[in-house]
Amino acid sequence: MENKIAVITGATTGIGRATSILFCAEGANVVVVGRREDEGKETVRLAERGKGKAIFIKTDVSQATQVEEMVTKTINTFGKIDILFNNAGVNPEPARKTLTECPEETWDQVMEVNLKGVYLVSKYVIPHMIKNKGGSIINMGSCYGHAGVKNRCVYSASKGGVITLTKSMAIDYAHDNIRVNCISPAIIETDIAKNIMDEARRNPEIWKEIITNKIPMDKPGQPVEVAYAVLFLASDESSFITGTSLNVDGGYTAQ
């Protein structure tokens, strides 16, 4: 990872922040991409404790103009892009309903960020990877994209789209030495999930419902555990792997 340039979207907290910190520790230079400036700058501060450099570029990945400007700034700063981690995603409360209950504007919001965001950022990054004669793209899927899940129709649909998009991208750009893979986590203990996890640890019934009954390893994943999987797919150590979805889910999808 020494001196490689990595763009990480949704990097202001959680898995994106953990990956930014890990990449910089391994010697990469990281572009922290997200909508929240204060959190993004904190990610930069934490990441720069490592060997690599980090910068924050405020970007909404669902907006083509902002994405194009972010990629241009990255190239002007670092001269190339070796790695792209399409991590940005949303799962708002109104989306946690059946299809008929999910508001149309919520459907559009989730698809705009989770699926269109992957399309847009990849669209503007790939030409620079081709010019650089290769690269590695890792898209954020989900175990919910592999199977139907109750009251998660829009989120599952968006992540199922990401998983299939990953396979098509891998085929399209294999001859350009660009590898495209996908990470599919289960329940990860990010900042957003912290309150739920804290409550579950105090209540055995809640823990059983959301963890034991779903995760054979009987625990939630940690952001850094996903980050290490991303690191593997980003590095040359996975040089013959493309078009795959790596499940980081404690056995969720093995059931």
Whether 144 is catalytic is no
Q: Is residue 255 part of a domain?
A: no
Rounded distance, CA 47 to CA 43, Å?
6
> Choosing from 119, 124, 144, 155, which is the catalytic residue?
155
Q: Tell me the CATH number at 67.
A: 3.40.50.720
Mean pLDDT of 135-163: 95
| Residue 12 and residue 48 in one domain | yes
| Residue 215 and residue 104 in one domain | no
| Residue 123 and residue 75 in one domain | yes
- Domain hosting 209: range is 192-220
- Tens-place pLDDT, residues 62-95: 999 999 999 999 999 999 999 999 999 998 888 9
Q: Is residue 131 part of a domain?
A: yes
Rounded distance, CA 85 to CA 198, Å?
29
Q: Is residue 26 part of a domain?
A: yes
| Residue 149 and residue 216 in one domain | no
| Residue 151 and residue 209 in one domain | no
pLDDT value at residue 32: 98
| Residue 10 and residue 39 in one domain | yes
Split into its structural domains, the chain has a count of 2
Using a cut of 0.75, tell me whether the model's pTM lies above it. Answer: yes
Q: Is residue 254 part of a domain?
A: no
Q: Which pLDDT band holds residue 148 (cuts at 50, 70, 90)? A: confident
